[in-house]
Amino acid sequence: MESYVPGKNKNKITEIVRIQEEVKDEILDCIRERERMMLELQKTTESIGNNMIEETTMKVLHRIELIMNTLEGILCRCELVEAKFTNTKNSSTDNIHIKQINNLNAEFEKIKQELRSYYITIEKVTNIFINADQINNSTIKNINDKISKLSSSKSHLGLHERIKEFSNNFENNSRINLFNPHNQFNNFVTQEFKSIRNAINSTSKSRQEADDSIANAMKEFTETLQNGLKIAVNNSKF
């Protein structure tokens, strides 16, 4: 059996802890980068939403303006024709002719009523569009609020504390590799891995950006600790 060399083991453990700290810093950098990307996503979403709303608003309002102008032109023409009928009626003595003019006037009055109803319909459509516009603005605001809430979330602090705790336990217990009854050290490491994975899984549900970099960092973190465990166990007495 290979003899136990305290200084050699201590140096290896110190090196493992140093590598672990580097990986931990990389994970925290990934979290900060993800927060930055979430803020950029919020700004982009807001810009796209506002541009879409503005473009749709201009198109619809322009269309409504054209319809209203057309209606006004039709009403003006109706009034001109009515005036001509009135003059003709006043200058005519033929009862049949007068009756025909009255019938035409009644038809024009009916058309004007329909046009006025159309005006009311257009106004209702305009109001509906305004309400829809407000709903769209509210929706965009809600999306931005949720993104902002996610970007300012403190869920990563738990992960930070777990990593810090693991680092302290590993570094401050120099004899942990000398006595390993019932595989306690392996169980300890496994439980820490499980806690870290649970924290990452919980965070990834609410954050989608930069997941690849986080996953890669966690993979490297896991591999580093596994390699450190192998080194420690291979150089320990049982």
Stated pTM of the model: 0.34
Residues 120-175: tens digit of each pLDDT: 766 666 666 566 666 656 665 665 566 555 545 555 555 556 555 655 555 455 55
Kindly state whether residue 1 falls inside one of the protein's structural domains. Answer: no
pLDDT band at 236 (very low <50, low <70, confident <90, very high): low
H-state helical runs in the chain: 6-91, 95-151, 156-172, 184-206, 211-234
Claim to verify: residue 128 and residue 51 sit in the same structural domain: yes
Query: Do both 34 and 51 map to the same domain?
Result: no
Are 176 and 197 members of one domain?
yes
State which of 107, 130, 151 marks the end of a domain. Answer: 151
**pLDDT tens-digit series, residues 213-230:** 555 555 665 666 666 556
pLDDT tens-digit readout, 66-119: 766 777 777 777 777 777 777 776 776 677 767 777 777 777 777 777 777 766
Distance of CA 196 to the CA centre of its chain: 26
- Rounded distance between C-alpha atoms, residue 95 and residue 47, angstroms: 69
Q: What is the model's pLDDT at position 107?
A: 77
- Whether residues 143 and 163 share a domain: the answer is no
Which of 131, 151, 171 represents a domain boundary (last residue)?
151
Averaged confidence pLDDT in the chain = 64
Alpha carbon distance, N-terminus to C-terminus of the chain = 11
